[in-house]
Amino acid sequence: MLYNINGLKKNKYNIERIKLNLYYALMGFLIIFLSYNFQIHNKNAFGINVIIYILIGIFVYRVVLENTYFNSIVNGFNSLKFHKFKRKRSFHISIREWYLNSKIKTNEIKLIIGVLHEKNKREEQHSYRVSKLCEDMGKALSLSQVQIKELKTVGLLHDIGKIAIEDNILNKPDKLTSDEWAEMKKHAEIGYEILNSYEDMSQMAKYVLYHHEKWDGSGYPNNLKGEEIPLQSRIIAIADSYDAMVSERCYRNALPEEFAIEQLKNNADTQFDGRLIKIFLEKVLEKKL
């Protein structure tokens, strides 16, 4: 379990908070203990003592006041994995897992998402719903916790490229012209370029790039077909299409759930991965086929 300070429930008896406080107490005790013992044996080492006090001050400021540095340490330690190989133990740190499970979300990405959601409030709610559907699909497929976290994140970011689409196209209440539709379709590639410019997000960038590809190869931007399309992109395509149908859009009212389900069934093995459609309907929407 990860102890994310900003994500803890507001319950002072929460086990997570108790454990986190124990982490604080232990680290603070170690710093004070080491500095005290050093000063006893080095009373004349004025410069070293000053450095120790500065380090203590930095610790208090960063950990107690900002709650950022320590949060990264705790999440990092939670990502450590022990692997037994016969009589040997190797200490393995999964950098990708550390990244996905920690609070590393760049200010630039947050800013872009914030601006996009300001441009179109419907997109904000749509992104969160798609994110939740992707997370549920990950659980239904028994993916690892890291993969589920990744799906949840990329579900939230799947339309980030729409930040570069003009408002009059993004919020147009009528049917798009062919030129406007061509412009709208660029959002997948723009989203890829944005995410791919950040270290460790190149894989998620590909999922965003391909989330409008179709099972029969008629999608965009690269006309990928079948399992050439990453699993995560296929999942996003289903979640995105379903939520788009059952939600109010700027050009139409929300469609009935029964209609949306029928459309998913009718487009299985053409637009969507038929196996995933079955799982989505049965395990995520809990509908009997």
- In total, the chain counts a number of residues equal to 289
The yes-or-no answer on residue 172 being catalytic is: no
Structural domain spans, the chain? 5-80, 105-284
- Please report which confidence band the pLDDT of residue 250 belongs to, taking 50, 70 and 90 as the band edges: confident
pLDDT at position 283, please? 96
Render pLDDT for 81-97 as a digit per residue (tens, 0 to 9). 333 333 333 434 444 45
State if pTM tops 0.75.
no
> Has residue 125 got a pLDDT over 80?
yes
pLDDT at position 85, please? 36
Give 77 or 281, the one with higher predicted confidence: 281
pLDDT at position 198, please? 82
pLDDT at position 119, please? 76
pLDDT at position 74, please? 41
Among candidate residues 119, 162, 185, 214, the one labeled active-site is 162
Written as six digits, the tokens of 151 are 């799906």
pLDDT at position 60, please? 54
> Has residue 78 got a pLDDT over 60?
no
- Tell the CATH topology of 105-284: Hypothetical protein af1432 (1.10.3210)
Phi, then psi, of 55 in degrees rounded to 5: -60, -40
> Has residue 103 got a pLDDT over 50?
no
Least confident stretch, 12-26, 41-55, 116-130, 152-166: 12-26
pLDDT at position 240, please? 97
pLDDT at position 34, please? 62
Render pLDDT for 12-54 as a digit per residue (tens, 0 to 9). 344 455 555 556 566 666 666 666 565 555 555 555 555 655 6
Least confident stretch, 38-42, 116-120, 257-261: 38-42
